[in-house]
Chains A and B, each alone.
Chain A
Amino acid sequence: MNANVMFYLLLATVLGLALLCVKPLGSYIADIMEGRPHFALRLGGRFEAILYRLSGVDASKEMSWRQYAIALLLFNLLGALIVYALQRLQLVLPLNPQKLTAVSPDSSFNTSVSFITNTNWQGYSGESTLGYLVQMAGLAVQNFLSAATGIVVAIALIRGFARHTVQVIGNFWVDVTRSTLYILLPLAAVLALVLVSQGVIQNVDAYKDVTGVSATVPTQTLPMGPVASQESIKELGTNGGGFFNANSAHPFENPTPVTDLLEIVAILLIPFALTYTFGKMIGDTRQGWAILAAMLILLVSMILVAYYSEQHGNPLVARQGIDQVASHLQSGGNMEGKETRFGIAASTIFAAVTTATSCGAVNMMHDSMTPLGGFVPLFLIQLGELAPGGVGTGLYTALIFAILGVFIAGLMIGRTPEYVGKKIEATEMKLASIFILTTPFIVLIGTAVAVTMTAGKAGVANPGAHGFSEILYAFSSAANNNGSAFAGLSANTPFYNLALGLAMWFGRFWPIVAALALAGSLASKKRIPVGEGTMPTHGGLFIALLIGSILLIGVLTYVPALALGPVVEHFMLVAAR
């Protein structure tokens, strides 16, 4: 089969599988989060009740946006302390058969913030740094809880649109418990077992020494660990933190093309479905489909750029008498930093999906992509990860861009903008602006500071424009809570651990507080009926407007920085021919 045909079939399969789940899963999430009578809620009801009683939670009481935000911040802050403590104390804790020593304070700080914020940036190398207890009880727990945090903020914002003239947006403890117990946990358990069946390891054994097949092959130590249970939630929760350094490129995390396909679908699953949840909860599913359509258009176009760019290969390599042409015997293309089983198609789809969401898992090394290929993950992160974005974060980011879109349209036609029954006024626009401007501010200032400091430049692995891209990518990834990297950058230094840790923390919680404030403000408003002057927000015009607003902000903010990185590198590669 022709390589391009294979690629399009694979892409159609990935998107088709994820789209098939949108309605059933999105509808289920709405039922659970609204507490409608449901089989699952009955099943877990007793357990939930015990949990609330032990925790002193009154499940019937809802919170104002301020109370909700305080609960969320406190929950995350305490979670960060636990992950930090587990890393510092791992040598005296059980389930550490390799006797790995305490992680340094700056790396522990970075990693705990990283997993709390759903970034899962990894300055360390998993297999040589972290024992099983840290991975399981520290990192995997936050894989669930940081994803749940994303979901509850999205749900709170949806309630802002769905409710009217009320001061409360939900109960944080109930929301976080339900999204964990009924949405994330069952999906993760099923996927984990499927992954094991394909070869993802799952044990708590010590690393295994093996002798090679003959005297000329050196002995090897094979890493072990409870990988599958972490791998499944890592994708479903769009976390992205690998058990091993090589992440989803590691054969023990992602052994076959089938696991790869499932992992890509798992990344898209909940972010896609939440658009339907939104439509269902506000009582107009067309609104959700329109948001999803805009996300899909952005995602697919960026996947195409990455695929064709990587499949084209590296002209400098071709000149050495190396065969990069795709055939039935090889995938060809730019194979540096890619795995044989994935080739170009499965690698580039993964790269775009992982950065169009806040996942950041990688099944290839983005640092070795061609300039235009590497531009794709970088730019998708910078757009704010909303195509479809992380679990929850993608939806609330997209909704805030929708608010911006109707505002721009309102300015053009001279009417008060409104979105799904709510007037968009000064308060909403102020909060939306704070939300949208926070991450570009962190990314650009952080990059500028790093490139002027010796400590910032010291970590760069590649010379020239590519080295600049490594730093720009690091701050883009951290502030937008993605976690993938141009991994040549040596980021496990006090400077980067601290700078990127702060970027992740503020890039996560500053927008979340703005989104919750927005939810509170919207919920307190009256619902206005659809009138003659109402711009429809479910058709092609709105979809174009939404994409336009996203690109407008992304391009205006980042073109100067991108010109110094992948753009100039592309022209250098063209000239080098």
Chain B
Amino acid sequence: MHTNPLRPAASLLIAFTLLLGVGYPMAITGLARLAFPSQAAGSLLRADGRVVGSRLIGQAFSDPKYFWGRPSATTPKPYNGIGSTGSNLGPLNPALLDQVKSGARSLREADPGNAQPIPVDLVSASASGLDPEISPAAALYQVPRVARARGLGVAQVEALVRAHEQDSLLGFIGEPRVNVLELNLALDHTR
């Protein structure tokens, strides 16, 4: 006959909590720090000797002389690092259309001469609210505005975008994209 199952249940739970809940994550933390220190710490970007952000976490750019990222639904402010979320707006929700319209209006007002259709990712909120990237289409759309605001040539800014374009791996894993923070850091170093 089997004895009371309480003892094995309790002791195995304690053992597994120590092994899987402390030993395992701490071992992975140690190994990660040894093998991939920069990634484990958040892929932080430094400029002029200070940490200016993570290359994986988008920031709220709204100045016309910077490339803008995706709309962010985080609260109380966009790109709130400790409040990741999407908008969760349904496809028929009037609030979704309002968001699209106001996003399109801001883009057009900042660049009145630009009559191209607006790439969808520039008016749709990302899933995390922290998307660090935009599509190459979205970056190219903003080139005339950024060039004018900085007094740079359109061709020069476009070349910078092209240089920061990241392709799909093997042509089909992931989408082509541009990291907004890295692109803007490069812009600040362009004369």
Contacts and interface: CB of A to CB of B under 8 A. Distances in A.
Interface in A243-258: 244-246, 249-252, 255-258
B82 A221 contact: yes
B88 to A, nearest CB: 3
Interface stretch (A337-345, A403-411, A420-428, A554-562): A337-345
B25 A136 contact: yes
Interface residues of A, number: 134
Contact of A246 (B33, B86, B90): B86
Nearest to A148: B16
B29 A128 contact: no
Given A246-B86, A365-B127, A55 B51 contact: no
Contacts of B134: 340
Nearest to B63: A216
B123 to A, nearest CB: 6
A101 interface: no
A57 B12 CA distance: 10
A492 interface: no
Interface string B152-168: 00000000000000001
A345 B93 CA distance: 24
A69 B123 CA distance: 52
A567 interface: no
A368 B169 contact: no
B2 interface: yes
Interface string B171-187: 11111110001001100
Contact of A207 (B5, B82, B87, B123): B82
B87 A365 contact: yes
A229 interface: yes
Contacts of A531: none
- How big is chain B's contact interface, by range? 35 or more
Interface in B1-53: 2-3, 5-13, 15-17, 20-22, 24-25, 27-29, 31-33, 35-36, 39-44, 47, 50-53
Contacts of B144: none
Contacts of A224: 42
Nearest to A343: B175
B101 interface: yes
A352 to B, nearest CB: 16
A67 B57 CA distance: 50
A248 to B, nearest CB: 9
Given A203-B41, A257-B174, A461 B88 contact: yes
A6 B170 CA distance: 10
A75 interface: yes
B133 A193 contact: no
A226 B29 contact: yes
B117 A217 contact: no
B93 to A, nearest CB: 5
A141 B41 contact: no
Interface of A: 1, 5-7, 9-10, 13, 51, 54-58, 61, 63, 67, 70-71, 74-75, 78-79, 82, 125, 127-128, 136-138, 140-141, 144-145, 173, 176-177, 180, 185, 188-189, 192-193, 196-205, 207-208, 210-214, 216-218, 220-224, 226, 228-230, 244-246, 249-252, 255-258, 260-261, 313-314, 316-317, 320-324, 327-343, 345-346, 362-365, 367-371, 461-464, 466, 469, 486-488, 569, 572-573, 576
15 contacts: A55-B15, A145-B16, A189-B28, A208-B42, A220-B57, A226-B29, A320-B104, A328-B176, A330-B175, A334-B91, A336-B87, A340-B133, A346-B175, A488-B88, A572-B92
Sort A-B residue pairs by CB-CB distance and give the 5 closest, nearest first: A257-B174, A137-B21, A488-B88, A249-B127, A365-B86
Interface of B: 2-3, 5-13, 15-17, 20-22, 24-25, 27-29, 31-33, 35-36, 39-44, 47, 50-54, 56-63, 66, 70, 77, 79-94, 96-97, 100-101, 104, 116-121, 123-138, 140, 168-169, 171-177, 181, 184-185, 188
